[in-house]
Amino acid sequence: MFSKEKSKNIFLIILITVLLTMVIFTLSAVAGEAEKDLNFYVVSHGGPADPFWGVVIKGVNDAAKQFNVKATYLGPEKFSIQKMVDLLESAIAGKPDGIVATIVNFEALDEPLRRAIKQGIPVITINTSDPRPAAEKIPYLCFIGSDEYLMGVYSARRMLEAFKPNKPKRAVIAIHEPGWAGAEVRARGMKDVYDEAGVPSEKLDTTVDPTKSYEILRSYFQKYPDTEAINTVGPMSAHPAIKFLEEEKLTNKVKMGAEDLTTIIVDAIKRGTCEFTIVQQQYLQGYLAVEFLSLYNRYGLCPVESVITGPSIVDKNNVDLVVKMVEQGYQ
């Protein structure tokens, strides 16, 4: 239809138009915030693709609206400590009025966060804290989150309870993000309880890809058909596990425990595929962080040490209470 030359030009024009549209879109999102007097960055290791962090982001955005501040959530598309620190460096360069960060790895985050604090930027941590003793750890204002180790402990204990008076012959701990400190600490909590109870347990890397996850689980169960318990550490390991148990018709033989909440997990609890889930109310982690930074900037007020948002257990007994909130993105 068009000559080769013309097609190339038209193609180029379309691409540049798309780019300009994205820029204008970003600009308009930014322009509306111009009147806000406070600007915060929430830098987390969790990316926009993880439903768990979707709830945190909602908390951040709701609080930003409520307190009339600007809060931008930053997270790498795929789990990457390096990319998270790069985002943090850019955030610090923006001279914000406050930074919220997850201490996914205290060594990598130590230098940039200390530098930010030295420059007078208040820092609050959420979700994963600095595990070092008070004298060594990063001097952030406070930590908002759950106790990861306890989450693992509650998870394994609740699983054992479901088998009483027997014990599961074997338990597998499905981790979708090996290397993420939170998952490893939860897994350690689970393993400690299982070891004490004499139940053989093993960690399994199921990756963040649901198809791969399914196949990895299938291979594992083929190798260890006596496995009777699956513990997952987040929705990205739970969803494929739920699908796997139902499609392979293992729901009567194998009990499953999850962590965190999504509509899929809630439905699975109702159906009986999933025995329970451990929640940490991550909405509060996003919401309270923005609230505390606003109060600190305006009035110098902030809670100290830790504000603990979990763990607590959701199972068949109380799942109906949370269903609606999960659908709306609050839980």
Partner 1 sequence: MVKKINRFMNFVRWPEFGALLGFLSIFLLFSIISTNFLSLVNFSAVFTVAAELGIISIGINYLVISGEFDLSVGAIFAVTPMVLALLVNTGISPYIAFIISLFCALLIGFLNGLITLRARIPSFVTTLGMMMFWRGILLAVSKGFPISYSSNNKVLLNILNSRVLFSGMGVRMSSFWYLIIAVIFSIILVRTRYGNWVFATGGSKEVAKAMGINIERVKMINFLISSLLAGFAGCVSLARFNIVDPTLGSGLELEALSAVVIGGTFLSGGYGSIIGTFIGALLIGMVRSGLVLAGAPAYWYTAFIGIILIISVAINAKIRSMVLGE
Q: Which residues of the chain form contacts with partner 1 (CB under 8 A)?
A: 8, 11-12, 15-16, 18-19, 22-23, 26-27, 29-30, 33, 39, 41, 47-48, 70, 72-82, 85-87, 89-95, 105, 107-108, 110, 115, 118-119, 175, 178-179, 184, 203, 205
Nearer Cβ to partner 1 (175/242): 175
For the bound state, the minimum distance from the C-beta of residue 36 to partner 1, rounded and expressed in Å, comes to 10
Nearer Cβ to partner 1 (127/273): 127
Nearer Cβ to partner 1 (215/315): 215
Which string of DSSP letters, residue by residue, matches 231-281?
EESSHHHHHHHHHHHHHTT-TTT-EEEEES--HHHHHHHHHTSEEEEEE--
53 vs 292: CA distance, rounded Å: 19
Strand 274-279: give its sheet, edge to edge: 201-205, 171-175, 229-232, 255-259, 274-279, 312-315
5 vs 297: CA distance, rounded Å: 58
Residue carrying structure tokens 């501040």: 69
For the bound state, the minimum distance from the C-beta of residue 81 to partner 1, rounded and expressed in Å, comes to 5
Nearer Cβ to partner 1 (81/197): 81
Nearer Cβ to partner 1 (31/301): 31
For the bound state, the minimum distance from the C-beta of residue 286 to partner 1, rounded and expressed in Å, comes to 13
- Rounded to 10 deg, the angle between the 81-93 and 106-118 helix axes is 0
For the bound state, the minimum distance from the C-beta of residue 316 to partner 1, rounded and expressed in Å, comes to 32
For the bound state, the minimum distance from the C-beta of residue 205 to partner 1, rounded and expressed in Å, comes to 7
For the bound state, the minimum distance from the C-beta of residue 160 to partner 1, rounded and expressed in Å, comes to 25
Exposure letters 247-267 (e unless 16+ CB within 10 A, then b): eeebbeebbbbbbbbbebbbe
Nearer Cβ to partner 1 (29/301): 29
Structure tokens at 139: 């001097």
For the bound state, the minimum distance from the C-beta of residue 46 to partner 1, rounded and expressed in Å, comes to 10
Structure tokens at 233: 């550490």
Nearer Cβ to partner 1 (64/326): 64
Q: What is the CA radius of gyration of the chain?
A: 22
239 vs 232: CA distance, rounded Å: 9
